[in-house]
Structure 1
Amino acid sequence: MADTLAPHLVGESIVALLRARRALLVEGGQLAGVPATADIAHVSVAKLASTTPPSAGLSLTCFHLTRADQARPVASAAVPGAIGLSLELHYLLACWEGTASDELSLMAWAMLELNRFPVLGAGHLVGTGWVRGDSVQLVQGGETPEQLARIWDSFKLKARLSATYRARTVHIGYGTTGDSLPVVASRLSFADGDVAMEPAS
């Protein structure tokens, strides 16, 4: 069970994977048609909805965060006594390149890589705070073109070539620290004798 920074680190991990794979393919001369220097960035909703959205490259944005399908709190096998929450992250992968060739080849390549690496395990998850056995599954979102258009409308932006993904399941919690509010008052009193032995009045 990871800490509360994990949802951010999932996006960072996806971007790091794409950057590393591109560098490897460039070195091997296998990156036909894909812009080798286009930026690949983890972008916030605030940045996407601002007056200065990305102007080139690929962006990955978590546009929705929801509780995963589990109905009950999740207990950690690695940290006994820890109870947490399971999350599903919804991402928008968008291309901002200016030509049809760069736009299509960059998006197609990114989708190919995410299809090749559908599970982010210990070797892919960046940052600290993860525990042994943590992994995140990436699946393509089920949004229709109309739903995608509504997502872009919500950002007040014209639609770009894009696809949606879901990262599941991200287990977060507080580890073995106290999971209840601190005691701020107590009441304790003493009396002589045994109440049970006193005669009834």
Structure 2
Amino acid sequence: MPVYLSNTLINELQEQTESFLNKAIGEWQMIKHSQFALKESPEKWSATQCLEHLNSYGRYYLPVMEKAIREARKKDWKATTHFKSGWLGNYFTQLMMPKEDGSLGKKMSSPKDHYPVSNFNSHQVIGVFIEQQEKLLQLLEDARSIDLNKASCPISIAKFIKLKLGDTFLFFIAHQYRHIIQAEKALQAAGVLQGAEVLYFNPGKIAS
């Protein structure tokens, strides 16, 4: 399983999250709702739906990660030099990762409670997304002081299964990357000129 220097991993995850945040603030907020909500075809999601899907996961995982950090502090689980990914956490992260050419790879069905309807206000959805990225950046900073191996989080689809906090961060951000790429493709289909590319997420480059 991949092994990371804990601080290097957090730096990488923060940089990736800042890339998402900059995209939302610098570009998405300026796009008309009609374009952000446009679906290329009935079976495909609009950019609004892609972000609302991510927001629904943020509503679950951000409080769960915050709780894991709080409990780790209570138990005095101090930061370690290295984080070793678990087999299940690494599997979930790899499952989420798009291919190098930007294609999404294996198509997956979303659980009912995370399936986005198509009538959301795009600017409200973008606003929530921005708030969640800012919260995620703070949680990553808070996690520097704790053991990413011992702290753990229950996954949303089966709360009796727990992932290491480090894997939860990796999976959560890989999932965001996947659907942000999807949102960018939806915007391209809607005729929106593409701005700066989102930072390519490749945690393997810093693993040993």
Which TM-score band (shorter chain)? under 0.3
User: Could you say which structure has the larger radius of gyration?
Assistant: 1
TM-score, L = length of structure 2: 0.26
TM-score, L = length of structure 1: 0.26
